[in-house]
Amino acid sequence: MNLKTEIDFDIKHFFQWWGKELINCLPEQFRQKLSKKSAYVFLSVNGDFLEIEPVINGQSTEITIISLNDDSIDDYQKLITDSAELEKAECILRLRADQGIKKVLYLPAATKENIREVVSFEMDRITPFNAEQIYYEVKVLGKEEHGKINVLLVLTPKVILDKLYQQLKSVNIFPALVDYSEAANDFEQDLAPYNLLPEKDRPIKSKATQIITWSLSATATLLFALVLLFPIWKQEQGIESLRQQLKSLKKDTQEVQENQLAIDEIIEETEGLIKIKNTAPSLIEISDILSQLLPNDTWLTHFKFSKEKIQVQGQSPSASVLIGILESSLLFENARFVSPLTQDKRTGMERFQISMTVNSAGGLKDE
């Protein structure tokens, strides 16, 4: 389990889906008022003519073309009233291919929270218009990949849409939504269709519908907290417990590793000491060799052995010959006086101080 995994959860999309499911649980009379319309009337203006395409339960019927004049409202109303399914159908103005523009943009995922403002700022760079000249909508397509998001931009010049809307308004036809034929909304599947129609021209929902919608949203929020958030909270508690266990195990593991490193260092030092001991002659053996080499009338007063170096002090009738005697042994090398020879007035002998290196490779068996 990856404890750092992030969940990409769209709250708005969830509530739209949840509200739709709640509506399906209501009695038929309420469901008909609140459910998404299954009938639509798509309008398309071509010059002075209006193309009308009714769609009922996803099935398109015959397209009717009427002239945009004073008789248009009568022709339009007759077409609607002839079909019971179209009485409450939603009226949608669908722009033709030459009346709008669509673009798919690839933007950094960090712009998702304020995507509309980002696109507005870049509008004059990515389109021939600036944001004040057009009506536009942006919609994120799919999930982010490789730090990028796909964004659908749909726009139409204000002069075009305003003229079309005035033409329809003049014959008492008021569309609830405007989309573009080259990027048409899927009203059966899309829970959040885009709408190019300005807010000021959109129909106002009845207060009763708003109250019921708000009540359903509140109920959905409560059910969301009880059904979804509580299990997520419980799972988060379990994950936190696992984090604490992992933290404790990590601490124990670190202590074991530190102890193992200390043990390895002790073993390494011990092996080094053993190696030195095995390769270097013992003090007793060195003392024995010195006793054999030095003349009988020579004796030592000081003896120091450190890091394969020996310093000896003593007296001898002829200390100058001691260097040659000591270097005649394979065990000693680099013998030299470390201080001038002096004569002891009391004994009449020469005082000496000699330093030399113990040659471990010389061994003792050669002596």
Report yes or no on 5 lying in a domain. Answer: no
Q: What is the pLDDT along the chain (367 residues), one digit of tens a residue?
A: 444 444 455 555 565 566 666 666 666 555 555 554 568 889 999 888 889 888 887 788 788 888 887 776 777 777 777 777 777 788 999 999 999 999 999 999 888 889 999 999 999 999 999 999 999 999 998 777 888 999 999 999 999 999 999 988 888 888 999 999 999 998 877 878 999 999 988 887 655 555 666 676 677 677 766 776 777 778 888 888 888 888 888 888 888 888 888 898 899 888 877 776 666 567 788 888 888 888 888 888 898 888 788 899 999 998 888 888 888 888 888 889 998 988 888 888 999 999 999 887 655 544 4
CATH code for the domain in which residue 328 is found: 3.30.1360.100
Please check whether residues 45 and 145 belong to one and the same domain. Answer: yes
Report yes or no on 2 lying in a domain. Answer: no
Q: Which of 155, 178, 203 is the last residue of a domain?
A: 203
Report yes or no on 1 lying in a domain. Answer: no
Q: Which of 178, 203, 228 is the last residue of a domain?
A: 203
Closest by CA to 89, choosing from 215, 11, 176, is: 176
Please check whether residues 100 and 161 belong to one and the same domain. Answer: yes
The number of C-alpha atoms within 13 Å of 263 and in the hemisphere containing its C-beta is 6
Please check whether residues 42 and 189 belong to one and the same domain. Answer: yes
Please check whether residues 240 and 331 belong to one and the same domain. Answer: no
Please check whether residues 29 and 104 belong to one and the same domain. Answer: yes
CATH code for the domain in which residue 162 is found: 3.30.420.380
Report yes or no on 307 lying in a domain. Answer: yes
- Domain count within the chain: 3
Please check whether residues 49 and 72 belong to one and the same domain. Answer: yes
Q: Which of 151, 173, 203 is the last residue of a domain?
A: 203
Please check whether residues 199 and 209 belong to one and the same domain. Answer: no
Per the structure, the complete domain to which residue 300 belongs is given by: 283-362
Looking at residue 232, what is its pLDDT?
Answer: 79
